[in-house]
Chain A
């Protein structure tokens, strides 16, 4: 069914799935102009298109909030479920049992994840559900007009709210503490990195958390605010340059990528992530290092971005259930209803 839908105009470029970029688009956004979330939606469209992923093989999920509206703005050909505030993980967990060949992509926000949804967030990590979990993190509640979220830094001052008295929640630390198998942080102002991390996350088997600082241009974009474009641009320090290489592509190290200065991470599906060292050699397969770098970033006020932690090779949730090769939702009555003789067996088991 990998057919491109007839589109008006000149024939466009097609990817390996035979689809044009338009086949990955959604409805026009209704978020504010300049919102970081729009930039992320665009990177999702590009990443999926470039990876030649069939939209029909992806399920979109979200909770409630500005971020959670965004699945409407990409991949109209994918099934989507805009669920409840903070409850996207449970909907995704159940839905992905329907057909184990599908991959989930969930979009949440800092309120949706770190406040009302903290419980489900932690549990979707420890279950290693096969999905990309994007937190579009702006430190503020947008749809309800600018209240502090749980990721807002202590001391943040907002017009109607006053001064935030509480310490922030660090999404990546929470994910690590809950045994997430892929943890990354990025910045909507760095679209190239967002895209490469999205590709790596899609290639990861299991839960992949992307904590993307995504400024709210309406309520929290003051220069000194941690979740603003300006602060991000000044304080971002990527851990590495990341490049995703699709399966079966020949890896050619560019001139400037010399041995010893790059690190390769092999993915479950045969793809490879190339991490080019910047100032230091950072090993994202080391949990201690991951915790340390997050602590260090917090202590020194930098926005450490890149692939913070990856543990490849751990089975995802549905794999641990040893399900039939045929997707569960394609099974017929003959597969699901025990044979008539079994009723006698059952009755014999009763007293």
Chain B
């Protein structure tokens, strides 16, 4: 049997609340420390205890770490999902299960490995009875380590990290791992081809989740005020702020330069944040879709009152119960037009954990420069799962506090200033904030109905002038938001646009399209709204532009057709939202389903359009080991403007 090395997925099925996340993260981190590109995705129910939950890990030597639909190795720890888990193993795959689950094994086309989980844990007198289930999860870690080749030393490193160096739990868990490994060595015979071997492809990288990265980025952005309300999957962002602020903003006098308030609901969370932003603080909140709905009224007010504030939306699926613990990119158009009356938002779209950090600090610069709410749209997959990332880098630009006037400025102006006066012609007015003691500094803030000097008016012309200025300000925003990231392929005939966490899936799909179908694509990952000129250049370059996103209606596609109505017909929406992180398969198939070969498009030889069918089997995919993105050159689209990002590629793929 030919070995298959560093190219497969593992799924572990457990019961929610059984403590398996420690075990799963341990496997993930150990593989990462072995230098193998890897990703881990927690597919969990909205539940505290009892419902089935799965964790999938993908190791890939070529750096393709998007989710796959299939896992070659399945570990079944939950009787309730046992039959489903067993049926999911592909032919030739491996199935590990806790042998206290007495259910029929109906497969002869896979390798089956029973594990005496309970028995092994019971043997260890140091494991208290009520810890047996938790520690039991470590047995499968040990068995897997032995059978597929995870270094025990790396497992220990992961446990030391997880338990913050506390020896007792480290020992207890490590002993269970060792017991599992020893038992497997003595009792199991390897009957499947899947192995891990050390590489050097993760050197210098870190592993983190996007919410933590966003929190740390915000702290380096000088966040001063946070009001939030608990909601999955955004809660851990605010909690990370609470964790890291005391350390990163520690002062000798013990005083605090920030305040975090848990609000009574999302209305108050954004209300407080807007109040603080109005008062001159770097202010933020974090939420998810339903919370964003409640924030809508304040978002509209902040747009018209021109208050800088940062709103993180860690997107999840839909309203109420059902799939709130599943990932989505379904809030894009909602955020883009949030408010009442005419409004259009400035939105930042981080694509990975590093950009969650980077946009964490950048969002404040943009918000204070433009004097408007800035929405940062992440998602559950990026926010809550552990991703490989390049290390966080110190901000490369000083803080931009925008156009703010203090006492001496007003004195110099002899009090002659107008809060909503477009002095510079860029639509951005000057502002003062409370605490400015100059007698001419104060103004009265309202949503609508004010003139250039913030005086109350219901005059139509003043209203129209203000609306025009706000529009101009939005145009100005284009030069302050991060430019997109561009991946160029030689000979590309189509364009692909995506945003957020789909990049890994798109890059892998591009590779497959090229290899299996000869379709070469350029790829632009949009990182902000309003669109920058690079987006305009990109969409004009191709006859077909495929927009890949995780929702039903193709929301980015909608925004593109609104922005570029004259070429709207060439946008093809590849939208899919089932709550799972994007996979290369659906990106590829979604593109192929709508792809029209150039002959027809050009109409040169009169031949019928060639619809390319997806023919690649998984087997083929595996064999034709990725020459991968070697041909793909990634560029950051532009280096121009002031606070533009110059982010370099952060995924492992890029390291090649």
* Cβ-defined contact, A56 with B439, below 8 A: yes
Q: B259-286: which have CB < 8 Å to A?
A: 259, 261, 263-265, 267-283
B29 contacts A82, C-beta separation under 8 Å: no
- Which residues of B lie under 8 Å from residue A330 when comparing CB positions? 435
Q: Which of B444-492 contact A (CB under 8 A)?
A: 444-447, 456
B441 touches A56 (CB 8 A): yes
Chain B residues within an 8 Å CB radius of A120: 264, 267-268, 271
Contact (A336, B433) CB under 8 Å given A94-B272, A94-B274, A343-B392? no
From B248, B275, B442, residue with most partner A Cβ within 10 Å: B275
- Report chain A residues within 8 Å CB of B272: 90-91, 93-94
B29 A98 Cβ-Cβ under 8 A: no
From B343-351, B394-402, B581-589, the one touching the partner chain is B394-402
Give the shortest distance, in Å, between A26 (CB) and chain B (any CB). 9
Contact B208 A351 (CB under 8 A): yes
Residue B443 CB within 8 A of the other chain:
yes
Contact A123 to B445, CB < 8 A, known contacts A77-B439, A323-B256, A351-B158:
no
Residue among B32, B161, B271, B277 with the highest chain A CB neighbour number at 10 A: B271
**B residues 543-583 with Cβ under 8 Å of A?**
none
B225 interfacial contact with A, CB 8 Å: yes
- CB pair A329–B256 under 8 Å, yes or no, is no
Please report the total number of A residues contacting B with Cβ < 8 Å.
63
- The residue from B253, B259, B395, B437 contacting A321, defined by CB atoms under 8 A apart: B259
Asked if B255 is an interface residue, CB under 8 A from chain A, the answer is yes
Cβ–Cβ < 8 Å partners of A99 in chain B: 279-280, 434-435
Q: Does A8 contact B (CB under 8 A)?
A: no
Interface mask (B185-228 → A, CB under 8 Å = 1, otherwise 0):
00000000000000000000011100010001001111011010
Residues in A with CB closer than 8 Å to B341 are none
Q: How many Å from the CB of B212 to the closest CB on chain A? A: 8
Given contact pairs A82-B446, A94-B271, A1 touches B264 in the complex (Cβ within 8 A): no
Q: Is the CB of A350 within 8 A of B206?
A: yes
Given A76-B442, A331-B257, A337-B399, are A98 and B276 neighbors across the interface (CB < 8 Å)?
yes
CB proximity of B266 to chain A, nearest CB, Å: 10
Chain B residue with minimal CB distance to A337? B222
A290 to chain B, nearest CB (A): 24
Of B258, B261, B297, B395, the contact of A93 (CB 8 Å cutoff): B261
Give Cα distance in the complex from A21 to B29, angstroms. Answer: 69
**Contact between B206 and A95, CB atoms less than 8 A apart:** no
Chain B proximity mask over A119-134: 1 for CB below 8 Å, otherwise 0: 1101100000000000
**Which residues of A (305-330) have their CB < 8 Å from a CB of B?**
318, 321-325, 327-330
Q: Is the CB of B161 within 8 A of A351?
A: yes
Q: Which B residues, 398 to 417, have Cβ-Cβ distances below 8 Å to chain A?
A: 398-399, 407
**How far is it, in angstroms, between the C-alpha of A23 and the C-alpha of B261 when the chains are bound?**
35
Interface hits, B79-124 → A, CB 8 Å: none
Given contacts A71-B444, A99-B279, A350 and B264 within 8 Å (CB-CB): no
A-B contact count (CB 8 A): 221
CB neighbours (8 Å) of B256 from chain A are: 321-324
In the complex, are the beta carbons of A342 and B281 less than 8 A apart? Answer: no
Q: Could you tell me if A342 and B248 are in contact, using CB atoms closer than 8 angstroms?
A: yes
CB neighbours (8 Å) of A71 from chain B are 444
Decide yes or no whether B618 CB sits under 8 A from chain A. no
Q: Which residues of A contact B435 (CB under 8 A)?
A: 98-99, 101-102, 327, 329-330
Interface string of A81-96 (1 = CB under 8 A from B): 1111001011111111
B438 within 8 A of partner (CB): yes
* A84-B271, A90-B272, A351-B206 known; A335-B442 Cβ under 8 A: no
Q: Are B398 and A94 in contact (CB under 8 A)?
A: no
Structural contact, A346 and B248, CB atoms closer than 8 A: yes
Task: Count how many chain B residues have C-beta atoms less than 8 Å from C-beta atoms of the other chain.
Answer: 78
Q: Cβ of A150 < 8 Å from any Cβ of B? A: no
A322 touching B254, Cβ below 8 Å: yes
Q: Counting CB contacts under 8 A, is B251 at the interface?
A: yes
Residues of A within 8 A of B219 (CB): 338
Asked if B298 is an interface residue, CB under 8 A from chain A, the answer is yes
- Of the candidates B222, B301, B446, which one forms a contact with A336 in the assembled complex, judged by CB atoms under 8 Å apart? B222
Across the two chains, which residue of chain A brings its CB closest to B222? A336
Considering only CB atoms, which chain A residue lies closest to B443 in the complex? A79
Question: Is B50's beta carbon under 8 Å from chain A?
Answer: no
A56 and B442 in contact, given A337-B399, A347-B206 (Cβ under 8 angstroms): yes
B164 CB, min distance to chain A CBs, angstroms: 10
With A98-B276, A322-B254 already in contact, the answer to whether A338 and B248 are too (CB < 8 A) is: yes
Contact B434 A329, beta carbon cutoff 8 Å: yes
Cβ of A97 within 8 Å of any chain B Cβ, yes or no, is yes
Contact B437 A346 (CB under 8 A): no
**Chain B nearest CB, measured from A146 CB (Å):** 22
- A340 at interface (Cβ–Cβ under 8 A)? yes
A191 in contact (CB, < 8 A): no
Q: Are B301 and A83 in contact (CB under 8 A)?
A: yes
Given contacts A80-B444, A97-B279, A98-B279, contact A56 B436 (CB under 8 A): yes
- A299 interfacial contact with B, CB 8 Å: no
Does A277 interact with chain B (Cβ within 8 Å)? no
- With CB as the reference atom, state the residue of chain B lying closest to A120: B268
Tell me whether B515 is interfacial, beta carbon within 8 Å.
Answer: no
Proximity bits, B126-146, A CB within 8 Å = 1, else 0: 000000000000000000000
Question: Is A78 located at the chain interface by the 8 A CB criterion?
Answer: yes
State whether A1 and B29 are in contact (beta carbons under 8 Å apart), knowing that A82-B446, A99-B279, A327-B435 are contacts in the complex: no
Query: Quick check: is A255 within 8 A (CB to CB) of the other chain?
Result: no
Cβ of A5 within 8 Å of any chain B Cβ, yes or no, is yes
A256 is an interface residue with CB less than 8 A from chain B: no
B391 CB–A CB distance under 8 Å: yes
Residues of B within 8 Å of A54, CB to CB, are: 437
In the assembled complex, the Cα of A254 lies from the Cα of B32 at a distance in Å of: 82
A333 close to chain B: CB less than 8 A:
yes
A23–B442 CA distance with the chains assembled, in angstroms:
13
C-alpha spacing A325/B253, complex, angstroms: 10
Q: Which residues of A sit under 8 angstroms from B617, Cβ to Cβ?
A: none
Residue A72 CB within 8 A of the other chain = yes
Chain B positions near chain A (C-beta within 8 angstroms): 29, 32, 158, 161, 206-208, 212, 216, 219-222, 224-225, 227, 244, 248-249, 251, 253-259, 261, 263-265, 267-283, 297-298, 301, 305, 386, 389, 391-395, 398-399, 407, 432-439, 441-447, 456
The 4 tightest CB contacts between A and B, nearest first, are: A98-B279, A90-B271, A94-B275, A336-B222
Q: Report 19 cross-chain contacts, Cβ distance below 8 Å, ordered by A residue.
A: A77-B442, A79-B432, A79-B443, A87-B267, A91-B278, A93-B275, A94-B227, A94-B278, A94-B281, A97-B259, A99-B434, A324-B257, A333-B399, A337-B222, A338-B249, A342-B220, A346-B392, A350-B212, A350-B389
* Chain A residues packing against B (C-beta within 8 Å): 1, 3, 5, 23, 27, 54-57, 59-60, 71-72, 76-84, 87, 89-99, 101-102, 119-120, 122-123, 318, 321-325, 327-331, 333, 335-338, 340, 342-343, 346-347, 350-351
Given contacts A80-B444, A324-B257, A351-B207, 15 further A-B contacts (CB under 8 A): A1-B437, A56-B439, A77-B442, A79-B444, A87-B268, A90-B269, A91-B272, A95-B278, A99-B279, A328-B224, A343-B220, A347-B392, A350-B206, A350-B391, A351-B32
